[in-house]
Amino acid sequence: MEREAVLVGIDVGTSKVCALIGEVGRDGGLTIVGKGVVPASGLKKAVVVNIEQTVRSITGAVEHSERSSGYQIDRAFVGVGGQHVQSQNSRGAVAVSGHHREVTREDINRATEVARAVTIPSDREVLHVLPRGFIVDGQEGVKDPLGMSAIRLEIETHIVTASATAVRNLAKCVQSANVRIDELVASSLASAETVLSETERELGVAVVDIGAGTIDLALFLDGQSYKTAVLPVGGNNVTNDVAIGLKTSLQVAEELKIQHGSCDLSTVSPDEMVNVSMLGEAAGRTVSRLEICQIIEARMRETFELLRAEIRLAGDGILPAGVVLTGGAAQLGGAAALGREVLDMPVRVAGPTDVGGLTDNILNPAYSTAIGLLLWGAKSLAGGEGSRFESAPAGGAVGRVRDALRNLFP
């Protein structure tokens, strides 16, 4: 494989920081050549609450990935999570300029700027302005209007915003680890890059990335993102419930959840017993596995009910392809079955695919965001002039990466 570029993705999550280095081939294929994963500290529900600890975590992950790859990291695509990530859809319309009345790249950019000019509070920052589709002289459903004859051009855009303070603190931590930011990417959109098929995107699908502290949600309709949101619950809530219910430590509760946990009570025998060490007791006690799973099922059912309410806000019946679960906590036994029951739609669990190289232990749902960040970068690289960079906020980090990526082409 001829190497086209080397890209870096850094997923700064509630429980872990993951830095991956990938080589992108001329055929667009991605090969992981370096990985570094360290436990995260300094973050609460994917938001920085201690800069020094977060910098240490990012630095650790970066150093591990550098050692395993032989590359030195100086820039990266960085995932943004946290409940402050929100979205809205906006339209912009312009008269087509030029005496031939043909839609040019400049017309598309002007329409995008009009769509971008929605009122966004001063304490929020625009992460993405993604085109959803175009309307040419009243004709809807146009994917690419370039070169079409027209008098009036409308664009529908999906605008993702985040708390300016949270974004600045995250950027400060990454830069303090001596890494420049190519682009900040909403974590759910990054995960979608690696777990969704084109057919699912066209039909209507939701990607639900269940992390330790948050759930990153992205809805897709007609091939494009339609809604982006973050819910402030995750796998840690399940662990906390198990710890409280069984009067044990968080560490023991996490192990019980991973080794014995399931959301599908029909598969759990009431006769199965598990040894649990108790807080303040030298000798542990024996509890039924069913008791553990009942605690887990109750919390996960509540989580899916929150998801159902959030999805319904976007409209009923808009997700024929259902929900794709990913993220570390999606690996809980029976999660898809419980999801199907509560959401009343197709649900599957998915991790990254079609990736080569150092894939030991990372081709699972916990690493969807990190690998998705590399694929996001690769797609932007391949897109050239018409890529999503053209619709993203001008200048800044995006302008820098656009220039850097263009310089890679011979």
Q: What is the pLDDT of residues 123-162, one digit of tens each?
A: 999 999 999 999 999 999 898 999 999 999 999 999 999 9
Assess if residue 390 is contained within a domain.
no
d(CA 250, CA 252): 6
Tell the residue number behind the tokens 């656009």, with chain if given. Answer: 402
Strand partners, 155: 92, 134
Assess if residue 99 is contained within a domain.
yes
Assess if residue 100 is contained within a domain.
yes
8 Å CB contact between 80 and 162: yes
Assess if residue 248 is contained within a domain.
no
Q: What are phi and psi of 37, to 5 degrees?
A: -130, 125
Assess if residue 395 is contained within a domain.
no
pLDDT, averaged across the chain? 89
pLDDT tens-digit map of 187-199: 999 999 999 999 9
Q: What angle do CA 133, 355, 183 make, to 5 degrees?
A: 50
- Of 205, 79, 183, nearest to 404 by C-alpha is 183
pLDDT score at 2: 60
Assess if residue 156 is contained within a domain.
yes
Assess if residue 314 is contained within a domain.
no
pTM (two decimals): 0.90
Q: Which tokens go with 80?
A: 């943004």
Assess if residue 91 is contained within a domain.
yes
Distance of CA 66 to the CA centre of its chain: 23
Task: Tell me how many domains the chain contains.
Answer: 1
In the 8-state DSSP scheme, what is residue 267?
G
Residue type, 259: Q
**Residue 130 maps to which CATH number?**
3.30.1490.110
Strand partners, 22: 7, 32
- Of 281, 287, 293, 278, nearest to 247 by C-alpha is 278
pLDDT at residue 392 above 60?
A: no
Domain, as residue range, for 108: 86-163
